[in-house]
Structure 1
Amino acid sequence: MNGAIGASLPVAVGVMISPLPIAAVVLMLSSAKAKVNAFAFLVGWVLAVFVIALVVAMLAGSSTDDDGGPAAWVSWTKIVLGVLVLFLCFTQWQGRPREGQQASPPKWMSAIDSFTPVKATGLAVLLGGINPKNLLLVISGGATIAAAAPDDTTAQVVASIVFAVVASLGVLLPIVIYLAMGDRAPSVLDAMKNWLVQHNNIVLAVLLLVIGVKLLGDGIAGL
């Protein structure tokens, strides 16, 4: 169990630092339904990450080779995921704002002011479980858990819970700032949002590079 948790933590940190979901929560905290929308987003995010990681871990972990370790296809899956993550790293780096350029926030951010809790939850599921960048990372986390704990359902469930909790600390941080800092929170959150939007591509590129290389290494080592 500890091995599955430890092996998946680097990927969970990659999901945790995803800039756009954090910026989305910051915007929700400046809307009319600040608390309810932000908490709805947090719940949707945790559930999306947990369910996908667990499903991947259980599917991949159900196949073992003759010595009880993960099947060879699990290692090949990690290699393919590593290549895809590195490709995303390249596209993020290519799309970064050049010096002196101002990054444009995604169009969906302009609609957050009118969000209901249901829409906030839906956006969390979309960003956490359908958006290709995060989806690849969450699938990678599930595959890593499966490789570390094949045929151990309890370990897979516990590791997936820990993975989802760690992956959600990033979107939890703005909520903590909002509740703890009172009148100072809006200026801090606004500065955070602007920085995240401006540096989204660069932050993601670095994270994807590290995680992609790790996945490739783990996959090659498992063959």
Structure 2
Amino acid sequence: MQGQYALPVLFGQHLLYTVISVAVAAAIALPAGWLIGHTGKGREIAVAISGAARAVPSFGLLVLLVLLLGVLRTPLAAVITFVLLAIPSLLAGAYTGFEAIDRRTVDAARAMGMTEWQIFTKVELPLGMPLLVGGIRSALLQVIATVTIGAYVNLGGLGWPIIQGIPLGRFDQVLAGALLVAVFALIVDLLLALAQRAVVPVGIRTSNPPTDLGDRRAARRASAVA
């Protein structure tokens, strides 16, 4: 493939739609998720919205938006589709990251005189970051996979070799396109898995010493016997 269908161009298109869609979805979902996780209110609404968004078929929504917005606004229709696909994972990652924090930790921070903003930035956000990165990881992988179908509406991307190769019977081309998407997704998944591991606070990563009085006594007895 050459010109506008060269692999570097198709990869750039795929990456561009992915980054823009996830960035827009993050701007919508993360503040809402953090607010829900911090206040403990609105979780049922968030779950309902996320469930409804997950139930919508991406390909059907993309074609519907293209028909409603017009062929000239196909990129906008695609971005809206991908944003709606990414929101549930980002929203869930944001509020579950806060919900997973031991409430006693937050109460202790509040008792020390921290403001709500300080609790959010210095306690909840660092402790909730691993699950948030997990949500970003899931959203990115879903969008990377779904951007592939954008080739059906002439958006380009790494799905183009697949869509072009099927009617031509070029199954080697179809396989190559599928492998490119898979490799792209695997690389992103690996990088975000490393990032998810890296954002775990050091105090949580290290082995916790016995904190219970009985555990400490048992440890002392074991060392004495040894």
Report the TM-score range of the alignment, normalised by the length of the smaller protein: 0.3 to 0.5
Q: Per chain length, whose mean CA-contact separation is higher, i.e. which structure has more relative contact order (CA < 8 Å, sep 6+)? A: 1
TM-score w.r.t. the length of structure 1 is: 0.40
Please say which structure displays the higher CA radius of gyration: 2
TM-score w.r.t. the length of structure 2 is: 0.39
